[in-house]
Amino acid sequence: MAIFLPGSATPTTELGYGCSQLMGRLGERQSIALLHAAYDSGIRHFDVAPSYGYGAAEQVLGQALRGKRDKVTITTKFGLSPPQHRAFIAAARGIARPLVKLVPGARRRLALAAGTLVSRARFTPEELVSSLERSLAALRTDHIDVLLLHEATVDDLDDELLGALERSRRAGKIASFGIGREAASTAAIWRADRRFCPVLQFEWSALSGPPPDFAGTFVITHRALGENLKRLGAWLAANSAIARTWSDELGIDLAAPATLSGLMLAAARESNRAGITLFSSSTADHIRRNADFLLGGARPGIGTSFARLVARDARQLMRIETQPELVDADRP
């Protein structure tokens, strides 16, 4: 089914690829190969940010999409600035990359260290314009389909910032704009000032419970997989009888490779039928399998049926997902 983002005339896909893993532990050639795998699998929406990949993800996305820009839609962001001294960081990343493969936990520690290099911008009209111009240049395009205010708060929003967004939209540099941050804070902004909310992007998975209702807003969700997939997969492995019951009720073998990730994506997709579901992967085969499952004709309603089973039988997991502060408290 073709999806149209607000203000955009380019049809896009219900499944989008998130570029947060590009140019981190991966090199340029690997990152481009993943983007090509996503495109060749039928994915036409790509989500990126100036802060991703130590500041290099936008540039590699623009390179990978040369000659394809009129066939895809792109979301980028303003608010978290890329790290300074990127040339030094790129060299350090090249040295660290072999370490990630050898040392358990090194990937997570490097990711946390990278997070400390990202600074939060002041949400002024001047910084918005300069950030947008840098993104347009890096992406090799003359327009962005959606520009999200990355980690903005209610206090960051004012008439001057809205005016700058509207001027960028009228100039054709962005088709639409919105807010990108965690679901609870997104809801607070939506209640406080919906002028900034033509598009909302936040996390949702089958472990999150009922999705929020943002009537009249285009919704993009992410984090359907990742740690949620690992948590649910481990829980099902420890509860094999429930896994067999779920397989019987769904008519699909949960022990088959990639089935669980496909079901979790389908649940996210079916909870947001008018919007876009993002996922990220650093493995081309996983990208292809997920795209084949969701874009290739997954049985209608199977994601909703799966989410109902999760709600019925995995309430403790859902409680941890919706109240993260319980994770440590619930450990033995």
Of 180, 156, 167, 225, give the one whose Cα is nearest residue 51: 180
The angle, 0 to 180 degrees and rounded to 10, between the axes of the packed helices 106-115 and 86-102 is: 160
Of the candidates 17, 39, 52, 54, the residue annotated as catalytic is: 52
124 contact partners, CB below 8 Å, separation of at least 6? 160, 161
H-helix segments, the chain: 28-40, 57-64, 86-102, 106-115, 125-139, 159-170, 183-192, 227-238, 240-250, 259-270, 284-295, 302-313, 315-322, 326-329
Q: Residue 75: what residue type?
A: T
Show the tokens assigned to 69: 């820009």
52 is catalytic: yes
Q: Which residues are catalytic?
A: 52
